[in-house]
Every structure is written in C-alpha cells, then in structure tokens.
Amino acid sequence: MRDPVAVVAAGLVTPIGQDIDAFWASLLTGGCGITRIERFPVDDLRVRLGGEIKKLDRRPWTAGECRASQLLIAAAAELRSAGAAMLDSSPARTAVVIGTALGGVEEGERALAGAPSLRALAGGLYDSPARNLARWLGARGPVMTVSTACASGATALGVGAELLREGVADVVVAGGYDVLCRFVMKGFDALRSLTRDAIRPFDRRRTGLLLGEAAGLVLLARVRDADARRAPRLGRLLGHSSGSDGSHIAAPDPNGRGLEYTVRAAMDDAGVAPGAIDFVSAHGTATPLNDRVETLVLKRVLGPRAYDIPINSIKGYMGHTMGAAATLEAIMCLLAARHGAIPQTLGLEQQDPACDLDYVPGAPRAVRPRVMLSTSAGFGGCNSTLVLEGL
C-alpha cells in the first residue's frame, strides 16, 4: 500500500443541509431535498423538479461572485473552521483541485442571454470558480480544475492525493461542485435521463434521475503531517483510480468494463482485497442501465461476499449533483464510519430482481464500516473509484 492520505476536514452545501451535521441528520431521517425549481423559469420544461438550494445560509464571499463560486466558498467556510491549523501552515504549499461536470455554464448562459459583462464572461470559464476559491482561501499552490463528467468529484480527490504523494503540495483542498440552470436541465432532458417520477435507485420501477446542485470539499494532507500538527481526522483516502470505457456518449458500457477496471485498480492502489470491503457507496443513478451494470460489476469484483456487504445510493435525497456527487458520497462514507450507521437508499421500495444485492432499503443500517468503496460513473465512459478508511 502506498502512503495513505488523511482526510482532515470537510465542508459542504447541499439541498438537504448546509453543514456536515445537517447533511448527516437528513440522511438518517430520510429528509428529501427534491422540490420544484424556483430560481429560473421551468414552465416550458418537461421536468421541473430538482435538488435546488433555495437560500445559502453562509455568505462569506465577495459580492458579485458567480453562484458556483458562492457554493464552493460557502463549503470552504465550514472546512476552514475545522482545518485552520493545516490551511494556515503554508499557503504557498496549499493546492486546490476542483472537479465539475459543467463548470461555469450558468454564467455563460447568462452572458449569452443579455449584454455580457466582463465578470459574467470570466465566470463562465471552467476554471473560474476554482480560482475564486483559491483566492478566498489564500492558497498559492497549484490550482486545478478537472472534468470527468459526473465522476469529477472523485477524480479531484485522486489528483489531490497524488499531489501530496509526489511532494508537489503539503495541503490540498479537493472536491467538486455543479449548479442547476436551464442549459443543464434541457441537456439532460434531451438525453432522456430525467424522470418525472421519484428517484428510485435499484427499484424495478426506476425511470431515471433528477438533478441537484451542491458543493463538497475535503481537506487532504499526508498522514505524517496531520499527525505532526495534531490535526483532527475524518478518515483516510487509501487508494483511487480513474478509467474510461469509451462505450457511449451517455450510457455506461453494458458489461461495465471501465467501472470494473477502476474498482479493481483502486483496491490495488489501496492494497486491500475484496474481503476487506465493509460498505459500498454506489453511483446508483436510478437509470435502468446504470443500476443493473453496477450490480453486475460489484458481483464480479467482490465475488459471493457481494451479497453480504451493505450498498447504498444517496441520490434519492438530493438528486444527482454531478461534479459534487462523488465528494458528497465520500464524505457520507466517512460519516457512516464515524457514527456507526449507513443511510438507507431513499426511494428503493420494490427491489429489481436484477439488482439483487443488499441496497439498504427502508431504514438506516446500524453498521460501523471500516474500509469502504465509493464508485462513480459519468457520461462518455468516465469512471472513478475511491477506497476510504474510517476512524
């Protein structure tokens, strides 16, 4: 196993909670953040529901920042309060790695709709929110934006871990975000990915996903550096992998080849065998093909023990938050280990016989996992897997 990376702190802003405690409470109580979208016109859209953040509780940003930057900085404000000792230790050696599926597309949409200002045009660039976050943090190390569709949040954590392992940075703020706007809603609808029904991962009645917006961040450091500064700890990132199956612009590979590769490679990177896995956070989009393919991949990789491992999807709580999803799911894994509970798969009521693993229906499970997989799959065949260890 290569050097593990400490997850020192986390921060998030989601439709079901704008801090770690509220987020976790919603996951345990089945709180759902899916509502009718109010921030932009939806009357002409086929699907008008999503995981929209109605009002931001924290406002630590500079006036005029784009919404994506606002979400990131609000999430970073919580992270900073827990990880200040690490963040303030060496600004020149602090890196920022942010994943996003669609970047500043809302600002680009706004600029095209009217007389574009320089700020709006700059906000429409893919890397603008990450740069704004780095400036707010005072981070002067590498600033990177990565985009691997809806696996972007996991890819960002993996890239951040490599910056630490290679000695490029001493502290990394990594995570992901995406925001809702008309362009995003219409694009996913054109791909026939959205449902008019509830999100039902692994349910035989599932008909698609709904979108959400969020930002999630984690503070990463080498374990020895976190120990030296007596920094708090959520857990460890043991391993990661990214890969592509290149099968289709929107659908996963029917045999799950790319996802299977990343799960196996991430476990190899972490130095753990299938028998060590205690819990899986599945991508679980509630699209007919994704859930079936993910089930097949987990059976192939984990063998007969796949039937004994709890597996969940949290997309029913707040929709598919795209670039933020994998980071939020990684945070959920570490909270599950800390609190000894695994949130239920909200929306799963009539399990699909083809999805016959333990997908935690009905209620949270009183289990304290130690080693966990978090799988992610995105359009274009982008796949990523994280291996996490709880404390």
Known catalytic residue at 320 = yes
* Separation CA 145–CA 101 (nearest Å): 10
Instruction: Give the angle subtended at the CA of 334 by the CAs of 265 and 19, to the nearest 5°.
Output: 130
Identify the active-site residue in 283, 333, 355, 382: 283
- Catalytic, 355? Answer no
The set of residues, in sequence order, having a beta carbon less than 8 Å from that of 284 and lying 6+ positions away, is: 201, 202, 290, 291, 294, 312, 313, 314, 315, 345, 359
Q: Angle, to 10 degrees, between the axis of helix 67-87 and the axis of helix 105-113?
A: 150
Catalytic residue among 32, 66, 150, 333: 150
Residue from 66, 181, 240, 320 carrying the catalytic annotation: 320
The Cα–Cα gap between 300 and 296 comes to: 6
Which tokens in the block code for residue 310? 């709890």
- Catalytic residue list contains 150: yes
Which among 95, 100, 97 has a CA at the least distance from the CA of 67? 100
Q: Which residues are catalytic?
A: 150, 283, 320
